[in-house]
Structure 1
Amino acid sequence: MDETSADSVTLDMLREARETVSRSPLGVINTPMIPWSQTTLPLSVSCNIQIKLENLQRTGSFKIRGVANQFARRPKGGRFVTMSAGNYGKSFAYASKHYGSQGKVVMPETAPESKSILIQSFGVEVERVPTSCLMNVVNRCVQDDNMTFLHSYDDLDLIAGHASLGMEVLEVLPEPDVVVVCCGGGGLLAGVAAAIKLSGCDKTRIYGVEPEGACTMYKSFTEKKPVGMDTKSIASGLAPPFAGRLPYELCQRYVEGIILVSDEEIKTAVSTLYRAGLVVEPSGSAAFAAIDNNKIPDMEEKNIVCILSGGNIGKDELANFPD
């Protein structure tokens, strides 16, 4: 990773990754994009919004895209370790089982217990630790157990795989005015932004959305370098302890800005989406929360894409959200 820069990401590379993802034996889905106007969702601004339903993706989130490209470029039957709050870990475990690899997921203690159980059901070991200790445990597994680290967001192959989502968007809406994407470590945002901008959509404005309590990319933009923080949010999938170096470089190049939403706005977004028949987890609802609270600049009469990035939320968790 250290030698990799934003210059390494080319349109040809992203197109090749798109082919790899679409042919993957993991069964990655070209998810539907539906007009906001065909739902019962409220809209206070006059604009045309398309919703990309990654909550319907195989394993329940966009993460399978990057994982499909990562595993296609690694030896089968390897021994891999990663860190994840849930969604990447689920896709990683699913791929590990398919390819006959030995896997371990290091999870923050704040992640829902249900996600740990689900990951373990694929035959992958889970170790839950304080967020500040994630990388220490990963490094121990690499050094002591001779495992290969697969990064859950700061990895070239992963980002290229996520770019397939951006290319699917352009097949439906060739020149969007605005694209709104959730942002944790920045892998999805970087991949989607690179795909759209390198495809020639120079005028498209791309915004990342982060929780106020886990705004590592926002702070990185402010300090002009990747930074970490003590993150805390109901959207645990958007709360890694630091922004990725390569995602930061790509976001600096291709992203208009980072929008912040509160945990209360995320909770309301989950409930609003659920009432409209869309099961979306807190981390997957951030982009919608930003649009629903009119936080995206200049939306009037624009063609906008909102990515709902994941739907891994259980009935027990949904019960904690307002009706």
Structure 2
Amino acid sequence: MEELTADSITLQMLKEARDTVMSSPLGVINTPMIPWCQTTLPLHVPSNIHLKLENMQKTGSFKIRGVANQFARKSREGILVTMSAGNYGKSFAYASKHYGSKGKVVMPETAPMSRSLLIQSFGIEVERVPTSCLIDVVSRCVQEDKMTFLHSYNDLDLIAGHASIGFEILEVVPDPDVVVVCCGGGGLLAGVAAVIKLSGLEKTRVYGVEPKGACTMYRSFIEKKPVGMDSKSIASGLAPPFAGALPYALCKKYVEEIVLVTDEEIISAVSILYRAGLVVEPSGSAAFAAVINNMIPDIMGKKVVVILTGGNIGKDELTSFPD
């Protein structure tokens, strides 16, 4: 994977992946895009903003898109292993059950227990470990137990599958001025940004949004290489131990900037969305949090797209957030 470069990713490659994703037996859907003005959400800056509702996607998040492309293109023989805080793991488990594959998900201890139980309900083994140990445990599974590793963000097939969102955005808003995307390991951000820029929209500004306590891509931009950190955030899906090498290369080439939001701003965003009838988890709310807290520059009067990436949040989590 590290041998691939950003320049080797073509628009045709991403279009073929989109066709694979949308014809997948896993049932991926073209999620709605709704104008902000048709919601009860507060808007402090007059802009033409659309929300891409991936919280309504099959399995509750965009992750099924990348998984659909991975499972279509990779061998499913033997036992598969991956690492995930929840959403990728859920999609991985769903796909494994559909295809009759055996699998294991290595999860950070910080992930909600409800997500572990959900993944296990698909017949997939779950091992919870400290975030800093995720890759070591996966390596042990590969080397000692001969499992096949599917990466949850640093994988070309995964990124190409996630890129299908970019094509759907351009079908509704053909010439956006700004696109705002949540960023964890960077797979979604890389795929969406690549579609937009390779489609000839050089003037469109693409922003990634990370939690301040889990800003691996932000730090990677500063250090000019993929870096890791002891990530901690209420948005566990945006807190991988390191930024992916291929996502970093694509983001560095196509993304304007990485902006940071606090856990408090994310929690507030979840509550604001919920009061407007939109169930969005913390990891899926970061891009929205950046917009409502004026973190994205120069959006007044502009055409803006904000992706709400997932809605997998339990009642126990929702009730812990302020009204």
Structure 1 residue 50 corresponds to structure 2 residue 50: yes
Give secondary structure in 2 for the equivalent of 1:297.
coil
Structure 1 residue 312 corresponds to structure 2 residue 321: no
Q: How does 1:98-247 map to 2 (within 5 A)?
A: 98-247=98-247
Structure 1 residue 80 corresponds to structure 2 residue 80: yes
The alpha-carbon deviation at position 76 of structure 1 amounts to 3.8
The alpha-carbon deviation at position 8 of structure 1 amounts to 2.0
* Structure 2: stretches of 5+ with no match in the other structure: none
Q: Deviations over 1:58-100 (max 9, x none)?
A: 0000000000000001224442100000000000000000111
Q: Deviations over 1:213-258 (max 9, x none)?
A: 0000000001111000111100000000100000000000000000
CA distance in 2: counterparts of 1:175 and 1:19, whole angstroms:
22
The match for 1:290 is 290
Q: Deviations over 1:90-146 (max 9, x none)?
A: 000000001111110000000000000000000000000011111111011101111
- Is 1:184–1:237's contact at 8 Å kept on the other side of the alignment? yes
- Is 1:270–1:285's contact at 8 Å kept on the other side of the alignment? yes
The alpha-carbon deviation at position 264 of structure 1 amounts to 0.4
Give secondary structure in 1 for the equivalent of 2:128.
strand
CA distance in 1: counterparts of 2:250 and 2:76, whole angstroms:
29
* Structure 1: stretches of 5+ with no match in the other structure: none
CA distance in 2: counterparts of 1:140 and 1:78, whole angstroms:
16
Query: 1:173 corresponds to which letter in structure 2?
Result: V
Query: 2:20 corresponds to which letter in structure 1?
Result: T
- Is 2:2–2:246's contact at 8 Å kept on the other side of the alignment? no
Aligned length: 323
CA distance in 2: counterparts of 1:227 and 1:54, whole angstroms:
28
Give secondary structure in 2 for the equivalent of 1:180.
strand
- Is 1:82–1:149's contact at 8 Å kept on the other side of the alignment? yes
Query: 1:26 corresponds to which letter in structure 2?
Result: L
The match for 1:12 is 12
- Is 2:93–2:124's contact at 8 Å kept on the other side of the alignment? yes
- Is 1:77–1:100's contact at 8 Å kept on the other side of the alignment? no
The match for 1:40 is 40
CA distance in 1: counterparts of 2:115 and 2:143, whole angstroms:
26
CA distance in 2: counterparts of 1:44 and 1:172, whole angstroms:
24
- Is 1:227–1:243's contact at 8 Å kept on the other side of the alignment? yes
CA distance in 1: counterparts of 2:121 and 2:236, whole angstroms:
21
Give secondary structure in 2 for the equivalent of 1:176.
coil
- Is 2:59–2:90's contact at 8 Å kept on the other side of the alignment? yes
Structure 1 residue 66 corresponds to structure 2 residue 90: no
CA distance in 1: counterparts of 2:77 and 2:222, whole angstroms:
42
CA distance in 1: counterparts of 2:8 and 2:138, whole angstroms:
26
**Identical counterparts, % of pairs:** 79
The match for 1:2 is 2
Give secondary structure in 2 for the equivalent of 1:49.
strand
- Is 1:77–1:99's contact at 8 Å kept on the other side of the alignment? no
Query: 2:42 corresponds to which letter in structure 1?
Result: P
Give secondary structure in 2 for the equivalent of 1:267.
helix
Shifted more, 244-253 versus 140-149: the winner is 140-149
The match for 1:21 is 21
CA distance in 2: counterparts of 1:78 and 1:196, whole angstroms:
37
Instruction: Report the TM-score when normalising by structure 2.
Output: 0.99
- Is 2:27–2:58's contact at 8 Å kept on the other side of the alignment? yes
CA distance in 2: counterparts of 1:236 and 1:109, whole angstroms:
10
- Is 1:49–1:306's contact at 8 Å kept on the other side of the alignment? yes
Give secondary structure in 1 for the equivalent of 2:163.
helix
